[in-house]
Amino acid sequence: MQYGFGSYQGYMAENFVAQELRAAGDDMLYTWQGRTSEVEFLIETGAGVVPWEVTSGRVVHAKSLSVYEERYRPKRCYILSSKNGYCQGRRCYVPIYAAGVIRNLMEKQHQTETLFADP
């Protein structure tokens, strides 16, 4: 049986990530908006502010994240989607179901700088 959520699929993915962050102890959630760009979550860590882009599908162009990266040059960015986990350059692609544990992984990565290796 297939369940299609149509245009609500993105909202559901973002809400899922927000609920996972709240359950993990994040009391305040922040977002960034440019003129026509939006990064869903900005997470404060020991390494600074880390942007999280959430996409409900497997296509991860992340144009808004590119605008953010160009403007602020973060050391690491996370894209949560239905893809498997890997890093490429400063971008880490993480399965959306892992949203609740990414913060712990980011902190460990900050300590060791070796969470994922480039493929």
Average predicted confidence (pLDDT) for the chain? 84
User: Which pLDDT score, from 0 to 100, does residue 118 have?
Assistant: 53
User: Which pLDDT score, from 0 to 100, does residue 108 have?
Assistant: 72
Could you give the CA distance from residue 8 to residue 4 in angstroms, rounded to a whole number?
Answer: 9
pLDDT tens-digit profile of 28-63? 999 999 888 999 999 988 778 999 999 987 777 889
Q: Does domain 6-112 have CATH number 3.40.1350?
A: yes
**How do the domains of the chain map onto residue ranges?**
6-112
Residue 91 pLDDT greater than 50, yes or no: yes
